[in-house]
Structure 1
Amino acid sequence: MTNNEQPATGERADILDFLAKHRYFLRHTAQGLTDEQANTRSTVSELTIGGLIKHVSAVEQHWAEFAQGGRSDDVPAESEFTPEMIASWQDQFRLTEGETLAGVLAEYEKVAAATDDLVRTLDLEVSYELPSAPWQPPGVFWSVRRVFLHITAETAQHAGHADIIREAIDGQKSMG
């Protein structure tokens, strides 16, 4: 928040608080981990803590961009996915060569700060049509409010995944 901005109130404050709470839980799962541990598959899933943070950051950034104008150029038009597309998707869920836990956490902080600024300033009533995609029928619109709620739900869901992964690594739990 810049010095000239008033603190968010009402619904905007609620959205910011809800986002902050679930971002905290997600970041907490990474606390004290090495890069190797952050990239560990500790369950039968392909998911890793570092990869989940990386994925949540990318998804949040994508939806925040959508909330600013409804455009999305990264949705595949085809229903057939190439091996390259599948590999790129899988790389969202793990740390790849040259990536570090500190790096993905720093990027996540930048994305979160930018989203928070949008929560404070965008018109929550504006709606945009969701992009055409094999999994999305045409003609579905989401309000900016719903986009922010979706970001929160996505963060909460993946924080839960990360909590299970972390507990399997060394027993640490986010709660309880």
Structure 2
Amino acid sequence: MTTAQTVTGERADLLATLAKHRFFLTFTTRGLTDEQARLRTTASELCLGGLIKHVTSAERGWAAFIVEGASAMPNFAEMTDEDYRQRENDFKLLPGETLAEVLAAYEEAARRTDELVATVDLDAVLELPKAPWNTEQAWSVRRVLLHIISETAQHAGHADIIRESLDGQKTMG
């Protein structure tokens, strides 16, 4: 998941870090069937296919935020319980969805983010969307990219636990 453009310095570091954690996340799904990717193997509601879907959705959302600002994101402060229930589908590999499709969508989202990393003004500051958990008013684009990296890394760890619970396979150990 790289860009056609050669980048150096901080941008290269951001891309390399994203690539590493994306690899850890997607590697957890190696050799799995769609059914296995749907399985919950812990007390959590999470499954491997759903984690990939969630990270894809989050990365798409934050990439759109970088380009369009807060209007690209939902106003979480005004979301209803039904809105949140609908968002729960981002954490599930639903019937009719395949792991291959989810992985392809993630690759496309990653490609778009990589293009942004190569070209966007990292110092630009954007007002954050309204959300009960946002304690700050704005982030730099750099901070948004660091958030994407931390989300990806956190969920790669979740995925590793789910995969190990599924069949003993480990990604990072």
TM-score when scaled to structure 2?
Answer: 0.93
Which residue of 2 is the match for residue 47 of structure 1? 46
* Residue 170 (structure 1) shift: 0.3
Is residue 56–residue 158 contact of structure 1 (8 Å, CA) maintained in 2? yes
Which residue of 2 is the match for residue 149 of structure 1? 146
Q: Which moved more, 1:69-78 or 1:92-101?
A: 69-78
Paired residue secondary structure (2:100): helix
Is residue 65–residue 73 contact of structure 2 (8 Å, CA) maintained in 1? no
CA–CA distance in 1 between the matches of 2:10 and 2:84?
Answer: 38
Superposed CA deviations along residues 68-116 of structure 1, whole A, max 9, x for unmatched, are: 131334233426x33x323212111111132111000000000000000
Judging by fraction of residues, say which structure has more helix: 2
> Given the alignment of the two structures, is residue 78 of structure 1 paired with residue 78 of structure 2, yes or no?
yes
Paired residue secondary structure (2:25): helix
CA–CA distance in 1 between the matches of 2:152 and 2:125?
Answer: 22
* Residue 67 (structure 1) shift: 1.0
Is residue 69–residue 128 contact of structure 1 (8 Å, CA) maintained in 2? no
- Partner residue of 1:160 out of 154, 157, 162: 157
* Residue 133 (structure 1) shift: 2.1
Which residue of 2 is the match for residue 31 of structure 1? 30
Ranges of 4+ aligned residues in structure 1 off by more than 3 Å: none
CA–CA distance in 1 between the matches of 2:142 and 2:100?
Answer: 30
Alignment of 1:125-136 (within 5 A): 125-136=123-134
For structure 2, the residue ranges without an aligned partner over 5 or more in a row are none
- Size of the aligned set, in residue pairs, is 170
Which residue of 2 is the match for residue 140 of structure 1? 137
CA–CA distance in 2 between the matches of 1:108 and 1:164?
Answer: 20
RMSD: 1.4
TM-score when scaled to structure 1?
Answer: 0.92
Superposed CA deviations along residues 37-93 of structure 1, whole A, max 9, x for unmatched, are: 0010000000000000000000001001111131334233426x33x3232121111
Q: Which moved more, 1:127-136 or 1:68-77?
A: 68-77
Which residue of 2 is the match for residue 18 of structure 1? 17
Which residue of 2 is the match for residue 117 of structure 1? 115
Is residue 78–residue 134 contact of structure 1 (8 Å, CA) maintained in 2? no
Which residue of 2 is the match for residue 174 of structure 1? 171
CA–CA distance in 2 between the matches of 1:100 and 1:57?
Answer: 14
CA–CA distance in 2 between the matches of 1:130 and 1:97?
Answer: 34
Kindly, what percent of the aligned residue pairs are identical? 57
